[in-house]
């Protein structure tokens, strides 16, 4: 192994040695602790330390890194307190994730490290978002994300690299090619000669280096960093290396030919660097041994401190409270009064009450959404809109028409067909204090970004306290003859996921106020917009900037006979039915928010009539109506005069033909269900 110090001083070479020695000795200690049962799991990076150490040494301390399982050197290189790291690995509350995450599945904003999830590919797109933030601010910085050789087979790898290339982002992608994805060798993982060859397909530069040579890694990263900043381009680096332990300790290494261990033992990154330091007379053997002794003492001291951590005690209130980031009030004055009137007096007369505070205009549902976005873009210069065709074209439904002329393409961004990468990029923007609104074009397409939404956005605050200031717009629903892949009602998929907020307005004024509230909320919000309402529903909308509180239902119509609890298009179905059947006194509650639910409003609606019909366009089985019905049964049984009933669409995919679609829809069975409930 040839080392070249180039312009490095002896002191810098020694500092690099200390940086690579520490994770190696920690690793060796962790293997002992694992055998002693003091930790439950460990993903060893022995043999790969030069990559992490070289990377973190070459970057600035405030540049974000997205590490994976075997990047201990990143955490120690960012000077994270070792005692707290030990507490993290032991599952103590005093660790970085309050005992909620394992080994390296955590991050720290203070140290600019973004915690991984078990699905490895999503880390790459987060780096895109961070790099975009740097680019927008004109900062001389790069973001860096790690991938293993196995991870390059994932769609997230393609999406992240493609997005970085198309947007000319200063991001470095580092592949740690250690020959195996768990037990699967690389010859069963890909067919290209070298993984770095993939860079050409994305129009980016790339290089393949010896990942066990600490100085080569450091020098390469340092040079590539300068390239990315100067040229505002991404770069791919393939680091050839080998892990001397199993994927995790429990998996063993029987699947690896013994000769490979012999071969790579000769290329040990720590031992080879030690020999070079001695040969170059940068360190004497005695000095080297003294450093090892000092490091061992430091590890034992920090471990002893970690052992002082108290046994964790579960606190249900704290667990629930940490699912969401806390909101900061965004509005004041007359607008705040307007919001209060909406919250406290949600009734058929609330428009009259609001009229005392500001001017109204008659607007369509789609304009309410557009106004909320427009005024938010004006208020927040750190708000970025992203989505397919949203710039010059104005979006598939023209919601953002004219925005690019007002705010420019830097803030109104057309995206490649990379839904997963764009959700990840939105999260990356959030790490750097930006707000992001992504248009999913059709709610149906959320399936290809599902992992990022469910496992990254939703869980990140609970896992390590990082907010995700992201809104995903979800044009949804049927009634327009668009068929099974453009008309689904999939809101129930996301209501089941703690950490998300799910909003579903039915009127133009609610669409605007809830959109503004969603953008101001530091938590990830899925904003469902019923396509059939875009241009068919009109209402009075305040011209001013205002919020409608997320999590608060609206009492739409007073009634005495039955209560219809619904949302979205269901509100208009209920109103239309009530208008045609005035012999029945129908009480109507518009949920507006599906997560979190307004249980107080649901209970009041139940109490007003004693008979409840839950109405939604989604299919019956697994729809949110079932959850609400169960809650009412458990909490309002004594005020019920009949079983809670549900009116929902068929348990089939939604069909294309308008006759079949009409038959599918819940609306066609509304009268039947009302009659059944009335006659109970």
Please, which pLDDT band fits residue 210 given cuts at 50, 70 and 90?
very high
pLDDT of res. 445: 94
Say whether pLDDT at 83 is over 70.
Answer: yes
pLDDT of res. 351: 43
Two structure tokens written together for 98: 């309050």
Asked if 574 and 566 count as a contact pair (C-beta separation under 8 A), the reply is: yes
Give the burial string for 308-340 (b: 16+ CB within 10 Å, else e). ebeeeeeeeeeeeebebbeeeebbeeebebbbe
220 CB contacts (<8 Å, ≥6 apart)?
54, 207, 209, 237
Say whether pLDDT at 21 is over 50.
Answer: yes
Q: Across-strand partners of 613?
A: 564, 645
pLDDT of res. 330: 53
Give mean pLDDT, residues 152-164. 96
Q: What is the pLDDT of residues 108-133, one digit of tens each?
A: 999 999 999 989 889 999 999 999 99
d(CA 10, CA 200): 38
The CATH fold of domain 10-306: Rossmann fold (3.40.50)
pTM score, two decimals? 0.93
SS3 letters across 339-370? HHHHHHCCCCCHHHHHCCCCCEEEEEHHHHHH
381: left (phi over 0), alpha (psi -120 to 50) or beta: alpha
d(CA 550, CA 537): 21
Average pLDDT, the chain: 94
Element (H, E) at 317: helix 316-321
486 is catalytic: yes
Give mean pLDDT, residues 549-564. 98
Give mean pLDDT, residues 615-636. 97
pLDDT of res. 249: 82
Two structure tokens written together for 378: 């004006």
pLDDT of res. 335: 46
pLDDT of res. 283: 97
Rounded to whole angstroms, what are the CA distances from 617 to 66, 112, 242, 661? 40, 43, 54, 11
Asked if 163 and 157 count as a contact pair (C-beta separation under 8 A), the reply is: no
d(CA 669, CA 679): 16
d(CA 239, CA 640): 66
DSSP-derived pairing of the beta strands 180-181 and 184-185: antiparallel
d(CA 343, CA 348): 13
Query: In terms of pLDDT, which residue wins out, 104 or 289?
Result: 289
Q: Where are the domains of the chain?
A: 10-306, 333-542, 554-678
Rounded to whole angstroms, what are the CA distances from 361 to 373, 541, 544? 17, 5, 10
Q: At what angle do helices 269-279 and 49-58 cross, to 10 degrees?
A: 70
Give domain 333-542's CATH superfamily: Thiamin diphosphate (ThDP)-binding fold, Pyr/PP domains (3.40.50.970)
Asked if 335 and 543 count as a contact pair (C-beta separation under 8 A), the reply is: no
Say whether pLDDT at 334 is over 50.
Answer: no
pLDDT of res. 458: 97
Q: Across-strand partners of 557?
A: 588
d(CA 350, CA 363): 17
Catalytic residue among 486, 530, 572, 616: 486
Backbone angles phi, psi at 440, to 5 degrees: -80, 0
pLDDT of res. 64: 98
**DSSP per-residue letters across 432-455:** TT-EEEEE-SSGGGGGGGHHIIII
Identify which of 202, 220, 64, 67 has the alpha carbon closest to the alpha carbon of residue 128. Answer: 64
217: left (phi over 0), alpha (psi -120 to 50) or beta: alpha
pLDDT of res. 141: 98
Where is average pLDDT lowest: 246-255, 483-492, 518-527, 561-570? Answer: 246-255
Give CATH for domain 554-678.
Answer: 3.40.50.920
pLDDT of res. 39: 84
Give mean pLDDT, residues 550-555. 98
What is the side-by-side order of every strand in the sheet holding 593-595? 412-414, 383-387, 435-439, 470-476, 525-530, 501-503, 593-595
pLDDT of res. 139: 98
Q: Quick one: what percent of the chain has pLDDT higher than 90?
A: 88
d(CA 649, CA 335): 39
d(CA 619, CA 665): 9
pLDDT of res. 356: 47
Two structure tokens written together for 247: 């994927």
Backbone angles phi, psi at 622, to 5 degrees: 80, 0
- CATH topology agreement for domains 333-542 and 554-678: yes
Q: What is the pLDDT of residues 260-279, one digit of tens each?
A: 989 999 999 999 999 999 99
Backbone angles phi, psi at 374, to 5 degrees: -60, -50
DSSP-derived pairing of the beta strands 435-439 and 412-414: unpaired
Asked if 117 and 456 count as a contact pair (C-beta separation under 8 A), the reply is: yes
Identify which of 478, 399, 410, 405 has the alpha carbon closest to the alpha carbon of residue 439. Answer: 399
d(CA 149, CA 65): 18
């Amino acid at each position: 192994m040839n080392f070249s110090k180039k312009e490095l001083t002896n002191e810098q070479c020694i500092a690099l040695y200390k940086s690579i020695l520490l994770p190696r000795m920690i690793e060796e200690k962790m293997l002992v602790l694992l055998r002693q049962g003091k930790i439950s799991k460990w993903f060893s990076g022995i043999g790969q330390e030069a990559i992490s150490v070289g990377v973190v040494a070459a970057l600035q301390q405030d540049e974000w890194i997205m590490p994976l399982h075997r990047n201990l050197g990143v955490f120690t290189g960012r000077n994270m307190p070792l005692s707290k790291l030990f507490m993290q690995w032991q599952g103590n509350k005093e660790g970085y994730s309050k005992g909620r995450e394992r080994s390296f599945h955590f991050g720290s904003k203070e140290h600019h490290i973004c915690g991984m999830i078990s699905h490895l590919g999503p880390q790459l797109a987060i780096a895109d978002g961070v790099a975009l933030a740097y680019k927008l601010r004109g900062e001389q910085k790069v973001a860096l994300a790690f991938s293993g050789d196995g991870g390059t087979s994932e769609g997230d790898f393609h999406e992240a690299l493609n997005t970085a290339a198309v947007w000319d982002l200063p991001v470095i992608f580092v592949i740690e090619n250690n020959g195996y994805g768990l037990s699967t060798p690389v010859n069963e993982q890909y067919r290209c000669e070298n993984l770095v060859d993939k860079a050409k397909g994305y129009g980016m530069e790339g290089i393949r280096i010896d990942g066990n040579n600490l100085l080569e890694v450091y020098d390469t990263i340092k040079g590539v960093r300068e390239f990315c900043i100067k040229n505002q381009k991404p770069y791919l680096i393939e680091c050839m290396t080998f892990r001397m332990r199993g994927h995790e300790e429990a998996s063993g290494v029987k699947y690896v030919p013994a000769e490979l261990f012999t071969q790579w033992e000769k290329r040990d990154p720590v031992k080879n660097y030690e020999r070079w330091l001695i040969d170059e007379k940068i360190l004497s053997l005695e000095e080297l041994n003294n450093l090892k002794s000092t490091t061992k003492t430091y590890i034992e001291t920090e471990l002893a401190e970690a052992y002082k951590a108290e046994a964790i005690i579960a606190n249900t209130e704290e667990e629930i409270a940490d699912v969401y980031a806390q909101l900061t009030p965004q509005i004041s004055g007359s607008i705040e009064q307007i919001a209060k009137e909406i919250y406290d007096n949600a009734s058929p007369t609330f428009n009259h009450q609001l009229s005392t505070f500001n001017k109204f205009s008659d607007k369509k549902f789609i304009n309410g959404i557009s106004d909320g976005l427009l005024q938010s873009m004006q208020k927040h210069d750190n708000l970025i809109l992203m989505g397919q065709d949203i710039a010059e074209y104005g979006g598939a439904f023209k919601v953002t028409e004219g925005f690019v002329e007002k705010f420019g393409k830097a803030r109104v961004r057309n995206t490649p067909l990379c839904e997963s990468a764009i959700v990840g990029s939105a999260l990356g923007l959030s790490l750097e204090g930006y707000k992001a609104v992504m248009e999913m074009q059709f709610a149906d397409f959320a399936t290809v970004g599902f992992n990022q939404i469910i496992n990254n956005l939703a869980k990140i605050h609970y896992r390590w306290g990082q907010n995700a200031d992201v809104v995903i717009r979800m044009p949804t629903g049927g009634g327009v003859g668009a068929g099974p892949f453009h008309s689904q009602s999939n809101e129930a998929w996301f209501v089941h996921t703690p950490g998300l907020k799910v909003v579903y307005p039915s009127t133009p004024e609610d669409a605007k106020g809830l959109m503004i509230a969603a953008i101001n909320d530091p938590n990830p919000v899925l904003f469902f917009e019923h396509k059939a309402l875009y241009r068919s529903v009109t209402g009075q909308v305040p011209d001013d900037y205002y919020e409608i509180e997320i999590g608060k239902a609206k009492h739409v119509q007073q009634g005495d006979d039955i209560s219809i609890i619904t949302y979205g298009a269901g509100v208009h179905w209920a109103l239309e039915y009530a208008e045609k059947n005035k012999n029945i006194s129908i009480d109507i509650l518009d949920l507006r928010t599906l997560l979190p639910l307004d249980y107080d409003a649901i209970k009041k609606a139940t109490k007003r009539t004693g008979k409840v019909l839950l109405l939604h366009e989604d299919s019956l089985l697994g729809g949110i109506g079932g959850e609400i019905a169960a809650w009412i049964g458990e909490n309002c049984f004594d005020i019920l005069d009949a079983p809670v009933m549900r009116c929902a669409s068929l348990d089939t995919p939604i069909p294309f033909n308008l006759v079949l679609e009409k038959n599918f829809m819940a609306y066609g069975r509304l009268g039947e269900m009302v009659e059944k409930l009335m006659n109970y």
